[in-house]
Chain A
Amino acid sequence: MSLANEIGMIRALWFRDLVHFVRAPTRLLGVVVQPTLMWLILGTGLRSSVSIAGSRNYQTYFFPGILAMIILFTAIFATISLIEDRQVGFLKAVLVAPGSRLSLVLGKISGVTTVVFVQVGLFLLLAPFAGYSLAKIAWGQFTLAVLLTTLLITSIGVIMAWKFDSVQSYHAIMSVVLVPMWIVSGAMFPVSGNWVDWIIRINPMSYAVAALRLSLDTDYISKLWLGESMIFLLLTLCSILALALATQACQRSPNRM
């Protein structure tokens, strides 16, 4: 294994995703406008029906959930292209290049991460309107939370994309697994003392949402039973496990040349 090959592969994949992002200005608009609208409309609509403990209102509560959604959709769009890419396109040459599959996944993750930071950065401009003071955000923790969440979700996306040979199957999984995972992650409503709590607690995305929430609002008390450091630790473990599984999934050869 040569380091130059590994770094080269990560760089190649990172560069490609970045160029795509920069050359599609409408995509940039979409990824910021859509979550903003969702936050405003859903936030206003659900304001009276979801009760949030303390003095926080629903839009404040929903804000970190929307951040997780931005990461989720960025990862989905970036990984869904892997399906066609590896059957008829660009990725074939990557698969016979000397770099490892781990670097392939890391390359994809680095591209997604860069795009995520731009989008999250833009969306954070709305944080004061959601009741968060930019001065009070724990920036180090926040950066770590965004990084780990991106690592987790992109790895899951890679696993899905490699498992399915058609974009349609991926779409199905997206609406049956990925989006529901986000809904029951504490992104839309908190743990509230019924059976759904158990789903929230075994859902790795819950720890991502909790980590994002805790970095934005250091006074928040999570009801996942766990303290802040345990939440970060669990998120880290889940992310590393997902990365390992994604690397493993990529070992599978395509069906034909």
Chain B
Amino acid sequence: MLGIAGGMMSNSPHLEVSSLIHRFGDRQVLNDLSFSLSRGEIFGLLGPNGSGKSTALGIIATFLPLQSGEVRFDGQRIANRLIPYREKIGVIFQTASLDPKLSARENLLISAWLRGFPSSVATKRAEQWLDWMGLSDRADDRLMTFSGGMRRRIDIARALLHEPELLIMDEPTAGIDEYNFRDLWSRLQRLRQERRITIILATHRPEEAEQCDRLAILAAGKPFRIDTPNALKESIAHDALVIATANPTMILDLLKSRFKLQPLNDGNEISVTCESGHELIPRIVESVPKGTIDSIALRSASLADVFFRMTGQQLFEQTTKEGKHVARK
């Protein structure tokens, strides 16, 4: 380890969450959740809707009460030092915490005042962050005329304007198109490099999970595994096959008994991870009567496959063949 103060500092976690348990009425949404973040780390909670990730972030953001467990920031319990802690965090909620009737500039000014900045500093900060988000030319337009992506950028500027040490984001790119997704993340990665800001986020987008240094795979309020995206992907086989069939039983049996694989049945689709999918496909097709398989697709295994493999749950809602929108368990 480095013998300098900075190096020693980074040994102790910046944010430490231990044994969080949370209930809404009878429903237990967090079930003994623990993890810790070092300074400058981007940490993701990956899980589907209802996995408890928003609740965990709500507690860390001091938005929800702490029922059981502990959250420490720089080694101190946040419950004991609520105001100084709030000064050091920036929070991005699932729905933008902005006023659509006000202009972008006015929204940022409000955010600066909420952080106790005097007028002159508030004006400067608003200007600076509009510029950073590339929206200076729209500064005086009301937010209701902004696209979803632009609004999200203002929302992130709002949360960053007081230069927090910890940024808490709940599904920051939900409903955001590809262009804005990349744009936002390149800005966030730059910010992390420049200021060593620590980021914790909840997501169910595999491509967003890829942006994280480490991920907690979360299902039913419990982490299944915490690791880097690469280690998680390496823990499962390289390829993923998705087979659509009218006879799932036959295909499942075949994959299990003959190819010694562990397929997962998901309605009319069977998915299976394997080492060399291109070799497996012809062997599967030849082993079953003609017409049994409707389609068979090969792709690289993603974090969504990792999630499915580990928890047996899908990351997001899917559309079935019948066109029905269902949440799969």
- Give the interface of A toward B (CB within 8 A): 1-2, 4-5, 7-9, 11-12, 15-16, 19-20, 23, 88-99, 253-257
Contact = CB atoms under 8 A, between A and B. Distances in A.
Nearest to A19: B102
Interface string B90-132: 0101111111011000100111111111100000000000000
Given A256-B24, A256-B54, A257-B64, A92 B113 contact: no
A9 B101 CA distance: 19
Contact of A256 (B55, B61, B102, B110): B55
Nearest to A23: B101
Given A4-B116, A8-B113, 11 more contacts: A2-B83, A5-B114, A8-B116, A12-B110, A16-B99, A20-B101, A23-B101, A88-B95, A89-B97, A256-B24, A257-B57
Most buried by A among B64, B97, B159, B170: B97
Contacts of A1: 83
Given A16-B99, A98-B86, A257 B117 contact: no
Contacts of B86: 96-98
A15 B113 CA distance: 10
A257 B93 contact: yes
11 contacts: A2-B116, A16-B110, A89-B95, A89-B97, A92-B93, A92-B95, A93-B97, A96-B62, A97-B114, A98-B87, A256-B58
Contacts of B24: 255-256
A4 B24 CA distance: 35
A15 B95 contact: no
A9 B114 contact: yes
B179 interface: no
Contact of B63 (A4, A8, A257): A257
A97 B115 contact: yes
Interface residues of B, number: 39
B234 to A, nearest CB: 33
Given A88-B95, A93-B91, A4 B158 contact: no
B63 A98 contact: no
A93 B96 CA distance: 9
Given A19-B106, A99-B114, A257 B94 contact: yes
Contact of A93 (B55, B58, B117, B158): B158
B116 A98 contact: yes
Which of B95, B96, B114, B118 neighbours the largest number of chain A CB atoms within 10 Å of its CB? B114
A254 B63 contact: yes
A194 B61 CA distance: 55
B201 interface: no
B115 A5 contact: yes
Nearest to B93: A92
A98 B83 contact: yes
Nearest to B142: A23
Most buried by A among B57, B63, B101: B63
B65 interface: yes
A253 B65 contact: yes
A95 B115 contact: no
Contacts of A19: 101-102, 106
Given A256-B55, A257-B61, A8 B115 contact: yes
Given A90-B99, A256-B54, A96 B116 contact: no
Contacts of B91: 92-93, 96
B42 interface: no
Nearest to A91: B97
Nearest to B112: A8
B229 to A, nearest CB: 24
Contacts of B159: 93
A95 B63 contact: yes
Nearest to B94: A257
A16 B64 CA distance: 25
B270 interface: no
Interface in B54-91: 54-55, 57-58, 61-65, 83-84, 86-87, 89, 91
A96 B61 contact: yes
Contacts of A16: 99, 102, 110
A7 B114 CA distance: 8
B170 A257 contact: yes
A90 B107 CA distance: 9
Contacts of B55: 256-257
A9 B93 contact: no
A251 to B, nearest CB: 9
Contacts of A254: 63-64
Contacts of A95: 63
Contacts of B158: 93
A92 B97 contact: yes
